[in-house]
Amino acid sequence: MSAYRILCISGLFAIFSTTMAKSPVLPLYTAYLGVGSAGIGVIASISPLAGILCSIPAGVLADRYGSRRMLVVAAVIFITAPLLYLLACSVFYLSIVRFYHGLATAIFIPVSMSVISKLNADRKGQRLGTFSSATLLGRFIAPIIGGAVIGLWASAPRSGFNTVYVMCAAVGLIATIFILRLPDDAMQPIKSNSNSQGGDVAGALRALLSQRAILITAGVEAAVLFSYGTFETFLPLHFKAKGLGPYETGAVLSAQIIAVALTKPAMGRMSDKYGRINQIIVGLAICAIFMGLIYFAYNIIIGIVISVLFGLGIAVVTSATSALIADLSRKEQLSSSMGVFASVMDIGHTTGPLVCGIVAADMGLGRVFIASSSVLVAALIMFSAYRRKIQGQR
């Protein structure tokens, strides 16, 4: 089995495991332990914080010491972290466990993307899109399974939570088995003059963060994830205000995930064939338009149509941004670049609900979608202004 297929399969199981540990189980488990709403919010924010802080160092270390070593580290966390939830007794303990668990994804995603980019230079857009779709499949199935297990153990909730986290560890073990099958020759660090001279990690990081084209492209991804975080957080409240229930909300959210998963490989293939920069611009425009139109969604049919088209815009942009980051990066810094990409992406995903929560409190719920659309428009203007410089650095 090729390294690419192994990474797609391990990605499906790994993200299935981490998602089932948090959705919808984590808030319920935290409340069961007697933690209040503020504590639940803190615990929920810890895992993205791990991605923000650790994705870049993980990428730098993968470039210096080899991708396989870092993926094995992630695999160990995928297995051990779920079992630590079984010992939970306080907010502080759960926060530590969530941060530790977040390290697995912070390492696995950027390092896997860098390996796929290295092995598929001419088809990186399509291959990265397919890898992303595999992880989305795991993300889609996990809440269904986790919720079903909790429902089956409704009369004995502690047993239900324990069962879920043991299942997470078992699925993490499956991901680990595949990760250990990765061939060593595709995982070795690429030597460069700076590496051979003993350049330190901090120096490599400074050099990477000085590359404006990479940062701008990562900023585009952050803007899209800012809007997606706003969408998934405030759509339920918007629908509730329109008199729609959880079933309608779930259908709209699921339709978008399916749309993104099904179209990403094709959009990646399109970026390989026709170019990435114009595709990103078109995708940003689509996202901005349909993000703003969510304000006018007042029934499930309109909601699904807008959600699917917004998801299509997400697929158009994100299938090209990751591949463009790979195009802009030197081979010896590819994992580091993907680490920057993942870190900035997590910043966007985390700040979207926070910023738009302030907007909702000050200006009303409907304004959050207009505000999020404005962020996408700003990203579109910024990326368009630098398109020639970015094109010149490829």
* Same domain (yes/no): 249, 365: yes
pLDDT grade for 197, boundaries at 50, 70 and 90: very low
Distance CA 355, CA 219 (A): 16
* Same domain (yes/no): 33, 139: yes
97: tokens are 């466990």
* Same domain (yes/no): 263, 363: yes
* Same domain (yes/no): 150, 292: no
144 found inside a domain: yes
Higher pLDDT, 14 or 88: 14
pLDDT grade for 192, boundaries at 50, 70 and 90: low
* Same domain (yes/no): 148, 261: no
The chain-wide mean pLDDT, for the chain, equals 89
214 found inside a domain: yes
Give the best-scoring range by mean pLDDT among 206-210, 289-293, 347-351: 289-293
| Global pTM exceeds 0.85 | yes
191 found inside a domain: no
Count of domains forming the chain: 2
Q: Give the per-residue SS3 of 60-104.
A: HHHHHHCHHHHHHHHHHHHHHHHHHHHHCCCHHHHHHHHHHHHHH
331 found inside a domain: yes
Q: What is the pLDDT of residue 75?
A: 97
Q: Which domain holds residue 212?
A: 202-394
* Same domain (yes/no): 327, 385: yes
Domain's final residue, options 154, 183, 212: 183
Distance CA 84, CA 79 (A): 10
122 found inside a domain: yes
**Count of alpha carbons within 13 Å of 379, Cβ hemisphere only?**
31
* Same domain (yes/no): 261, 390: yes
Q: What is the pLDDT of residue 325?
A: 94
Distance CA 101, CA 56 (A): 17
Q: Quick one: average pLDDT of 56-62?
A: 90
140 found inside a domain: yes
Give the best-scoring range by mean pLDDT among 16-30, 70-84, 130-144, 198-212: 70-84
* Same domain (yes/no): 37, 118: yes
pLDDT grade for 267, boundaries at 50, 70 and 90: very high
Ranking 37-41, 223-227, 303-307 by mean pLDDT, the lowest is 37-41
* Same domain (yes/no): 62, 162: yes
Q: What is the pLDDT of residue 223?
A: 96
What is the tens place of the pLDDT at every residue in 66-91? Answer: 899 999 999 999 999 999 999 988 88
Q: Quick one: average pLDDT of 151-166?
A: 93
Query: Are 143 and 23 in contact, with CB atoms under 8 Å apart?
Result: yes
119: tokens are 């092995």
Q: What is the pLDDT of residue 15?
A: 96
Query: Are 120 and 272 in contact, with CB atoms under 8 Å apart?
Result: no
* Same domain (yes/no): 324, 243: yes
* Same domain (yes/no): 311, 386: yes
* Same domain (yes/no): 259, 179: no
What is the tens place of the pLDDT at every residue in 87-118? Answer: 988 888 999 999 999 999 999 999 999 999 99
Whether 204 has a pLDDT exceeding 80, the answer reads no
303 found inside a domain: yes
Within 10 angstroms of residue 85's Cβ, the number of other Cβ atoms is 23
Whether 189 has a pLDDT exceeding 70, the answer reads no
Phi-psi region of 364 (alpha: psi -120 to 50; beta: other; left: phi over 0): left
**Domain with 323 in it: what CATH number?**
1.20.1250.20
Q: What is the pLDDT of residue 199?
A: 47
Q: Quick one: average pLDDT of 221-247?
A: 87
